[in-house]
Structures are given as structure tokens and as C-alpha cells.
Amino acid sequence: MVTFERFTLSNGLKVLVHEDHTTPMAVVNILYDVGARDENPGKTGFAHLFEHLMFGGSVNIPSYDEPLQRVGGENNAFTSNDITNYYITLPASNLETAFWLESDRMLSLAFSEKSLDVQRNVVSEEFKQRYLNQPYGDVWLKLRPLAYKEHSYRWATIGKELSHIEQASMEDVKAFFTRYYNPSNAVMVVGGDVKADEVHVLAEKWFGSIPAAEKPVRNIPQEPAQTEARKETIHADVPLNAIYIAFHMPDRNDSGYYETDLISDILSRGNSSRLFVSLIKNQKLFSEVNAYVTGSIDPGLFIIEGQIVDGVAVEDAEQAIWNELEKLKTERVPAEELTKVKNKIESTMVFAQMGLLDKAMNLAFFELLGDAGDLNSETERYLRVSAEDILKRAGSIFRRENSSTLLYLSNK
């Protein structure tokens, strides 16, 4: 059970406090309700670019890292298609430093052509190194637009194309900041060796005077139901042929999400999972194969991906995957197998509630989903899933017409 208190400042900033006096540390986690899905199709990659810009200093604090390092703190951030999340860990006795740093860049981030040039180049190099110049690196640049035709999940967090980052202007950046980086569009979680009443005082002191703004209203086009199988083949200089199959699945708040996530574990969690035993150990078709969900807030994707053993026909490898999916659609998962994957999920959730930063991040995310308190019933939602639920969900997802297949073939 993760306990917390909640209050909201007059400018709309939601604040959650989790007291944990077993540690001398504190964490300040700020989640902004903006991700790649909120971008203009002609100007993608901005959420990720902005994550970098947020460390370029604010009007009153030219160096973000320096004062934090002086008080023994560390920080980082990440961007997804749904959110941008920033966090600081530091000794609880220096908590106010984190409030000072975070409030100042929310209020008055420093915008300079020099900082924009530097971060544009950093992100452009990341795009090239991780997505363009690495074997299989551009998979998500190909697979997302194959699976999504309308929804803004059709581009990756890094962006649709390099030119969008290279051409990002100061005007574009300032407009993005004004729209999304305001108190009403953020959730702040403070955890560790802190007291709720003291956090309330600090929140009012450092964030209370930041002007209120309207929370952005989303108007994202919903993805229509897929009615026919899609397939694309790429030839590239990669060591092995590979296959990626994407299926549309329920959104993060739907009970179907938990059923689908359990299916991914049945298929590929550990060396006793179905895909490992059948496709790697017994049939020796794949050198590696995995199944996982994207975990998206809006309806996401269930992915199966694998690298095919040299000499194995791609058609045989692909059919072997479908054979395993057919079993899930026609045969109930044995009770022992379902219990095993549920136990693994339960242990994962327990460990996630042991780390201070994990707890803070999860509280922020569940508050964004609707209620941070739902974090405490997350495990139960997995445990309630029955073999019949798995059977029905597999039948609704694993249909040819719901599939988008990317074949990544080696030139050798």
C-alpha cells in the first residue's frame, strides 16, 4: 500500500505527498501531461526536444545541474508518446533546492538561440545514431505508421523525420512551452523523509505564484478499427532477418489492458514461456523472440518481435508465431501457467513499491490516468483476470485483419 496526501494549488498544480521516513532521501517528480501524441504532424519530436531544453537553465538559474550537485542531488527525465517526466533525488534536508529549481524553470525557462542550437544538434545526433545508423534502429519509424493511420501514435517519440528537429524555430519552442508547461498541466509528487504540511508550505512558496493557465484540450483523431492485414518488407544491412507484428489492443484504463499484458507474459516472460520453449528451444526458428505491450494511455499495440535463425525461411518463422497465437485463441491457459505469470506480476509490483523514485513516478502516472489511489489496486486487477478472459481477449486481438507485419530482411 502506497499512502499519500493530495492537494491542489490555486493555479491548478496537483501535488501528492508520500511520506516514507525509512530513508533520509527525498524525491521530487514532476509529470507534464504532454508527449509525442500532442505534436503537430508537421512538427514532430518537440516533446523530446523540449525535455533537453529544460536542462538548459532558467532566467534566474543559468546552470540547472550545478546547484543540485552541490547539495548531493541527481536528476533526469524521459519522454514518451504520452508524457514528459522530470525527477530529482536528493537528501531530504535539501528538499527546498529541488522546489527552487523546478519552479524557476516552470515559470521562466531561459530561451536562447545558442541553447536551441546546442539541443537541436544533440537530438539530431541521437536521431541519427539510434534510429538511422543502427541495425533495426528505424523499426519504430516504420512500424508505427504501418499500424496507425490516423492517431498521432503513428510517429515515434524522436519524431517522424530528422528535418522536423533541424528546422525547429525559437517561435515554435516558445509556443510549445506556453501551451504545455504550466501548473494546470502538471502533477508533482514529493516523497521520502518529508512531512505533508511542510511540503504544502514549500509548494505554495515556490509554485503558488506561477500564473494559472488553461489546461490544453486534446483533439487527437481516434484510430478506426483495422479491417485488413498490413505488411511491409524492408531490405537492409542487418545480421539476421527479423519479424515484427503489431496488433491493436485496449487503452491503459481498460480492463482488457491487464488481460493483454498477462498474455504477453504467457508468451515471452522467461525461459519457460511459450515462445521461448516452442520457437527457440524446440523448433530452433528464432535466436530471440519477445512479446510486449506499449502501455499507451490511448489504445496501444501488442508487439511480437523476433530475429530469425540463419537459414530458416521467413514464411515458416512467421507461421510458427501464428500457430502459437492460435493456441491462445482456442485453448484455455492451464491454471498452473496462469498462476505462475500472475505471481511474477505480483512480485514485480511489490518490488516497484519498494523504490522511492518508482513510487513517486507511479503515483504521478496514476493520478494522470484518473486517480493515484488506483496504484494500490493495480495488482488486484491482474489477479482478477481468468483463463476465460485470456481466451476471449486473444480471440479479439490476434486476428489477421488486426495485424501489421514488418519484415526486416538482411541484404547478405
pLDDT tens per residue across span 146-163: 999 999 999 999 999 999
Do 158 and 110 lie in one domain? The reply is: yes
The last residue of one of the domains, among 155, 178, 208, is 208
In this structure, are 201 and 239 located in the same domain?
A: no
pLDDT-derived band at 143, boundaries 50, 70, 90: very high
User: What is the mean predicted confidence (pLDDT) over 29-56?
Assistant: 94
- Structural domains of the chain, count: 2
225 in any annotated domain: no
On whether the CB atoms of residues 174 and 275 are closer than 8 A, the answer is: no
**Mean pLDDT, to the nearest integer, of 266-276?**
96
Specify whether 13 is located in the same domain as 155: yes
For the segment 372-396, the average pLDDT, to the nearest whole number, is: 97
Are residues 35 and 161 located together in one domain of the fold?
yes
- Number of other CB atoms surrounding residue 300 within 10 Å: 24
Same domain, 72 and 162: yes
From 111-125, 263-277, 320-334, 366-380, the region with the lowest mean pLDDT:
111-125
Residue 270 lies in a domain: yes
**Given CA atoms 364, 366, 370, 376 in this order, what sign does their dihedral have?**
negative
User: Tell me, what's the pLDDT at 353?
Assistant: 82
Domain end position, chosen among 152, 178, 208 = 208
Does residue 224 belong to any structural domain of this protein?
no
* R_g of the chain, CA atoms, integer Å: 23
Residue 28 lies in a domain: yes
The answer to whether residues 105 and 246 belong to one domain is no
Q: Which residues does the annotation mark as catalytic?
A: 51
Q: What percent of the chain has pLDDT over 90?
A: 92
If asked whether residues 320 and 180 sit together in one domain, one would say no
Q: Are 329 and 394 in contact (CB under 8 A)?
A: yes
Residue 390 CA, distance from chain mean position: 24
- The C-alpha cell at 165 is 528537429
Assigned domain for 223 exists: no
Same domain, 243 and 285: yes
Is 220 domain-assigned? no
- Reply yes or no on whether the pLDDT at 324 is more than 90: yes
Q: Are residues 242 and 359 in the same domain?
A: yes
Q: Are residues 300 and 202 in the same domain?
A: no
Give per-residue pLDDT as tens, 177-205: 999 999 999 999 999 999 999 999 999 99
Residue 351: what pLDDT? Answer: 84
Nearest to 16 by CA among 241, 252, 189, 263: 189
Residue 26 lies in a domain: yes
pTM listed for this prediction: 0.95
pLDDT recorded at residue 83 = 98
SS3 track for 153-186? HHCCCCCCCHHHHHCCCHHHHHHHHHHHCCHHHE
Domain holding 121: CATH number? 3.30.830.10
Residue 110, burial from CB neighbour count under 10 angstroms (0-12, 13-18, 19+): middle
Find, among 250, 189, 173, the residue nearest to 32 by Cα.
Answer: 189
Q: Tell whether the model's pLDDT for residue 383 goes beyond 90.
A: yes
Average pLDDT, the chain: 95
User: Vertex 280, ends 261 and 291: CA angle to 5°?
Assistant: 15
Q: What's the pLDDT band for 114 if we cut at 50, 70, 90?
A: confident
Q: How far apart are CA 399 and CA 360, in angstroms?
A: 38
Domain limit, last residue, from 208, 238, 259: 208
- Enclosing domain of residue 140: 5-208
Q: Domain for residue 222, yes or no?
A: no
Whole-Å CA distances, 399 to 206, 228, 402: 53, 9, 5
Residues 102 and 146 in one domain: yes
d(CA 12, CA 182): 9
Judgement on whether residues 303 and 168 belong to the same structural domain of the protein: no
Res 303: pLDDT: 98
| Sheet arrangement for strand 230-236 | 230-236, 403-410, 242-248, 301-308, 286-293
